[in-house]
């Protein structure tokens, strides 16, 4: 099946610094990718929808200036957590759906990135 690669799988950073997380679709084109955040023992909460060549669409309550999303190509979306603080520590997961071909295809998920801000 299709593969979505997310990097890094874990990162520890100091408070006030910025962290970039990459999400790549390896064998299909993804005009749209999705970024989720997962708190411990909780479900995935959609943060934003990343659209290739245009601005991301953020969910209510998500600070767009803090969570910068760039989708510069059909296979790469990046999430940058700017001026990270301990409360930003979480598990971030990206997802992409192969939009060429059958409708309602499954969503493929990256491995997730464990961010710890100290």
Partner 1 sequence: GDSVTQMEGPVTLSEEAFLTINCTYTATGYPSLFWYVQYPGEGLQLLLKATKADDKGSNKGFEATYRKETTSFHLEKGSVQVSDSAVYFCAAGRAGTALIFGKGTTLSVSS
Applying CB under 8 A, the residues found at the interface with partner 1 are 1, 6, 32, 34, 41-44, 46, 49, 93, 95, 97, 99, 103-112, 114
CA–CA dist 66, 69 (Å, integer):
9
Is the Cβ of residue 29 or residue 83 nearer to partner 1 in the bound state? 29
Q: In whole angstroms, how close is the CB of 5 to partner 1 at the nearest point?
A: 10
DSSP 87: G
Choose among 28, 21, 9, 113: nearest CA to 74.
28
Q: In whole angstroms, how close is the CB of 79 to partner 1 at the nearest point?
A: 14
Q: In whole angstroms, how close is the CB of 16 to partner 1 at the nearest point?
A: 27
Backbone φ and ψ of 86, nearest 5°: -50, -35
Q: Are 110 and 4 in contact (CB under 8 A)?
A: yes
CA–CA dist 50, 72 (Å, integer):
10
Q: In whole angstroms, how close is the CB of 113 to partner 1 at the nearest point?
A: 9
Is the Cβ of residue 17 or residue 107 nearer to partner 1 in the bound state? 107
């Amino acid at each position: 099946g299709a593969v979505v690669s997310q990097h890094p799988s874990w990162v520890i950073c100091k408070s006030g610094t910025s962290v970039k997380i990459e999400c790549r679709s390896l064998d299909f084109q993804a005009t749209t990718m999705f970024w989720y955040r997962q708190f411990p023992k909780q479900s995935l909460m959609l943060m934003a929808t990343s659209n290739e060549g245009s601005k991301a669409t953020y969910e209510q309550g998500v600070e767009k200036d803090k969570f910068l999303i760039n989708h510069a190509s059909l296979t790469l979306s990046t999430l940058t957590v700017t001026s990270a603080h301990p409360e930003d520590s979480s598990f971030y997961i990206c997802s992409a759906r192969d939009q060429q071909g059958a409708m309602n295809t499954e969503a493929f998920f990256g491995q997730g990135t464990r961010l710890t801000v100290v």
